Amino acid sequence: MDAPTTTSSAGNDGGGNSGDWGWFTPSRKQPDDQPRSPESDGAADDRSADRPVNPIRPAGTEAERRPAPPAPAPAPPIPPASAVPPASPFAPASAVPPASAVPPASAVPPEAGREEHQRPDEAPTPQGARPAAESVFTAPETASPDAILLRRTMAEIEPVSDKVTSYFYALLFVQHPELRPLFPAAMDAQRDRLFKAILTAARLIDDPDILGDFLSRLGRGHRKYGTRPEHYPAVGECLLAALTRYATNTWSDEAEAAWVRAYTAISQIMIDAAAEDELRAPAWWQAEVVGHEPRTADIAVVTVRPDQPYPFLAGQYTSVETPWWPRVWRHYSFASAPRADGLLSFHVKAVPAGWVSSALVHRARPGDVIRLGPPAGSMTVDHSTDNGLLCLGGGTGIAPIKALVEDVAEHGRQRPVEVFYGARSDHDLYDIDTMLRLAQRHPWLSVRPVVSDGPTSGLSGRLPDAVRQYGPWNAFDAYLSGPPGMIRSGVDALMGVGVPSHRIRHDSIEELMAAAE
């Protein structure tokens, strides 16, 4: 539930669905006998009984719905600090502590490190949302009245966003402690994702197509956390209370009504997307580790076998949870195109304080079972064109590049593919032998290693600079994968040599947006 949701203080004249289903339930009720299956032919999934019990209940809908409960009353007035026992981490639901008395959302230290090729978070900024030269909160002349009010609120709370989101989560856990088990122990990254999701939704409120796609992906992705329709009113109530407390200059009855309308619509999109997804796919997959190949002291190739078919496209990524860090998910790209044997491979680099990456590299062994979320990402090959592929892979970002090469090979079309494989040293080119073997096998493939530090038998310098030495690239579609800094400089370099932005694909939009703001 790292995405913003609606508040239950909206009246029945709000923008939600009417009738017995209420706001926070799917728009269309499914028949009681409707089978749920990940298979395209709609056959019933008779394997569900064999799946182990999930300690976090999968999200989605039930065959027989319960009517939505009445909308709870708005959050009670904030009492003085003396009204809340400071020693109690969870006050009664009726007590809303002041900001100074709210306990931290987590006492666990933040994850100091970051996976080198950790994919975007579950709330990636949509492809259609681009950073503007002016303030991201400046409303265009065509903005709706609600969009103007939302942006004003966001502009006011941005300087204190850490306080707002910390207060929101602490308030949520005080008033609804039963929701705490759905969240990871360390909440620092969770707070960041929430604020970015709120900011993005507020900016896109007048772009229903882009916003709908963004929120639908969030709704589907949140099934693996155990998010259910009945959770949304609680989250929205606490979010509204946090905004009320900190947006003191811009908050008004009109602003509150705008946020209620916006988040009623936002929640409904997410809930409907999750309900639809439940009919065709599980919330998560069990996957047994069947291969663990160390490549360097801190990089390993991890191969797993899902417990049921896992559909994905070359170039996509998934979220991974290990048994050693429950509810902590990290994102890794598939290192191959879909295989006939159904196995999946990931290239993982352990970083200091990288909980999931370190566990996968140093602790995981064949026989261990991890969990996978649904596939995501748009860095896939367009097979309707004969354009060449220009691929830039930095560090473990070579994993999805390798998958794209295999995908082109399997389609049997002679399209030129130029791969620039960057690393700091020759030693860090851990997969260069695999890539060179692919180049020997396919005459349309060229692989150029690029090393930024130290002697090398390949090209020296930064990856974007090396790309500028070759070309022209006007007949190529570009694909970039690697650390955010490499992607930022790579995009600049490609646009500088004439590659249009709509032909540059990558899955690090969120990091790029954050760096530009």
Which two structure tokens, joined as six digits, stand for 377?
């990402």
Q: Which residues contact 502 (CB under 8 A, 6 or more apart)?
A: none
Exposure on the CB side of residue 66, measured as CA atoms within 13 A: 6
DSSP three-state, residue 364? coil
Domain with CATH 3.40.50.80 in the chain: 388-512
DSSP three-state, residue 377? coil
List per-residue pLDDT tens for the chain, 517 residues long: 433 322 222 332 233 332 222 334 455 434 343 433 333 333 333 333 333 322 222 223 333 333 333 443 443 333 333 333 322 222 323 333 444 444 444 433 333 344 444 443 333 444 444 433 345 566 666 789 999 999 999 999 989 988 998 899 889 999 999 888 887 776 666 666 766 777 777 778 888 888 888 888 888 888 888 888 999 899 899 989 999 999 999 999 999 999 999 989 889 999 999 999 888 889 899 999 999 999 999 999 999 999 999 999 999 999 999 999 988 889 999 999 999 999 999 999 998 888 899 999 999 999 999 999 999 888 999 999 989 999 999 999 999 999 999 999 999 888 999 999 999 988 899 999 999 999 999 999 999 999 988 777 778 888 888 998 898 998 899 999 998 888 989 999 999 988 998 999 997 544 333 333 2
Rounded to whole angstroms, the Cα distance separating 483 from 393 reads 9
Domain with CATH 2.40.30.10 in the chain: 285-372
Question: Which residues are paired to 459 by β-bridges?
Answer: 450
CATH 2.70.98.20 fits 285-372, yes or no: no
Asked if 306 and 373 touch (Cβ cutoff 8 Å), the reply is no
Dump pLDDT digits (tens) for 5-56.
222 223 322 333 322 223 344 554 343 434 333 333 333 333 333 333 222 2
Q: Which residues contact 275 (CB under 8 A, 6 or more apart)?
A: 26, 30, 60, 61
Exposure on the CB side of residue 337, measured as CA atoms within 13 A: 12
Q: What is the pLDDT of residue 204?
A: 84
Residue with tokens 């507020």: 202
Rounded to whole angstroms, the Cα distance separating 471 from 457 reads 21
Q: How far apart are the first and last CA of the chain?
A: 24
What sign does the dihedral 226-227-230-235 (CA atoms) show? positive
Closest CA to 358 of 433, 401, 298, 406: 298
Rounded to whole angstroms, the Cα distance separating 269 from 277 reads 12
Rounded to whole angstroms, the Cα distance separating 210 from 204 reads 7
Beta pairing class for 459-460 and 476-481: unpaired
DSSP three-state, residue 419? strand
- Class of domain 388-512 (CATH, top level): alpha beta
Asked if 467 and 103 touch (Cβ cutoff 8 Å), the reply is no
Question: Which residues are paired to 419 by β-bridges?
Answer: 391, 447
- Output DSSP code: residue 376: B
Residue 106 phi/psi, 5-degree rounding, is -155, 140
Rounded to whole angstroms, the Cα distance separating 11 from 362 reads 53
SS (H, E, C) 196-225: HHHHHHHHCCCCHHHHHHHHHHHHHHHHHH
Q: What is the pLDDT of residue 511?
A: 39
Dump pLDDT digits (tens) for 228-258.
899 989 989 998 999 999 999 999 999 999 9
Asked if 95 and 174 touch (Cβ cutoff 8 Å), the reply is yes
Q: What is the pLDDT of residue 416?
A: 95
- Output DSSP code: residue 370: E
Inter-axis angle of helices 161-175 and 188-203, nearest 10:
110
Please give the CATH number for the structural domain made up of 51-110+135-278.
1.10.490.10
Q: Which residues contact 210 (CB under 8 A, 6 or more apart)?
A: 126, 128, 129, 204
Rounded to whole angstroms, the Cα distance separating 158 from 165 reads 10
Q: What is the pLDDT of residue 99?
A: 42
Q: What is the pLDDT of residue 86?
A: 29
Rounded to whole angstroms, the Cα distance separating 19 from 21 reads 6
Rounded to whole angstroms, the Cα distance separating 348 from 334 reads 11
Alpha carbon 123 to its chain's center: 4
